[in-house]
Amino acid sequence: MGDGSQNIGGIEGGSGTDRASGTDRDRERGARGRTGWETRLPQWLRRRAREDAADTASDRVELLLATAGAGLPLAPAAHPAGFRCSCERIGCPTPARHPVSFAWQTQATHERATIERWADEQPEANFITATGMVHDVLDVPAPAGRAALERLLGEGPEVGPVAESGEGRMLFFTATRGTPEDEDEWWPCALDCHPETMDEHPGLRWHSRGSYVLVPPARLPDGLTVDWVRGPEHPLPDPLTLLEALADACARYADETDAHDRDSVAWPVRR
């Protein structure tokens, strides 16, 4: 009996040791598994970030080429650099919203190879399109623009490309009226807007000859963006077919705005 008890005790003792060893091995395997996963996770995240960045860059180039393919001439523009503009001008009045070159009007092109080269050499750059060559842009406060767009789509007039800026503006792209064959027939308009006079046109701005706007995809300070609502594949309409709906929407928007805010949304202010 004593020998049997010893054997039983030995068997029981051995089983306890085996179980302990098995538990240790399980813990070790689990630790190795966690260590391997923890090592691979940062690599996977970095790879995923690179893939996402590549996809974003590819989408950006495709959008720019589609815009140029519609005939809109493009040129590189500044972009956000932290809390500043990439132009590094102290107190830049239009951060990330202006062309890089002073020769932007002659530089602007819709040539595919040139735009691909610019996008590759300046991967963070925004792009502007020079108006008054192929197209004009009717630029209105976003609430008025949304109301006008709904009306226009309901009534049936042809509506071309439309973009929206995170700064609260909507851009309606139209055919140009700024480059007639006879220069004396150029149609001056009280709503004509040039970069240096934009503040004088807080309501409806008409970007024609000598002006420009940002084209999507564009990044602005504070994480704001410029994006297409209707893409550049839509034909450019005559601006006069949109003007009444946009003017009415701007007037209603001004009337609905509190009196102390009206100066910021009304028709062009004469100074």
pLDDT tens, residue by residue, 11-25? 444 555 555 565 666
Question: Residue 149's closest CA among 92, 11, 158?
Answer: 158
Predicted confidence band of residue 261 (pLDDT cuts 50, 70, 90): low
The pLDDT value given to residue 222:
87
The mean pLDDT of 164-188, rounded to a whole number, is 76
Rounded distance, CA 133 to CA 142, Å? 25
- Residue 215 clears pLDDT 90, i.e. is over it: yes
* Per-residue pLDDT reduced to its tens digit, 75-96: 999 999 988 899 988 889 889 9
The mean pLDDT of 185-203, rounded to a whole number, is 57
What SS3 class is residue 26? helix
Predicted confidence band of residue 58 (pLDDT cuts 50, 70, 90): confident
What SS3 class is residue 36? helix
Predicted confidence band of residue 224 (pLDDT cuts 50, 70, 90): very high
- Are residues 136 and 130 in contact, defined by beta-carbon separation less than 8 angstroms? no
Rounded distance, CA 243 to CA 172, Å? 10
The mean pLDDT of 157-185, rounded to a whole number, is 83
- Residue 126 clears pLDDT 80, i.e. is over it: yes
Which pair of tokens denotes residue 118? 């610019």
- Are residues 250 and 267 in contact, defined by beta-carbon separation less than 8 angstroms? yes
- Residue 8 clears pLDDT 50, i.e. is over it: no
For all residues of the chain together, what is the average pLDDT? 78
Alpha helices by DSSP H, 70-141 = 104-107, 112-121
* Per-residue pLDDT reduced to its tens digit, 127-148: 999 998 899 999 999 999 999 9
For residue 185, count other CB atoms closer than 10 A to its CB: 8
- Are residues 82 and 221 in contact, defined by beta-carbon separation less than 8 angstroms? no
Q: 84: which strand partners?
A: 81
The mean pLDDT of 169-177, rounded to a whole number, is 94
Q: 192: which strand partners?
A: 206
pTM of the model: 0.72
Predicted confidence band of residue 254 (pLDDT cuts 50, 70, 90): confident
- Residue 68 clears pLDDT 70, i.e. is over it: yes
> Which DSSP symbol is given to 174?
E
**Percent of the chain whose pLDDT exceeds 70:** 65
Question: Residue 77's closest CA among 116, 114, 124?
Answer: 124
- Residue 203 clears pLDDT 90, i.e. is over it: no
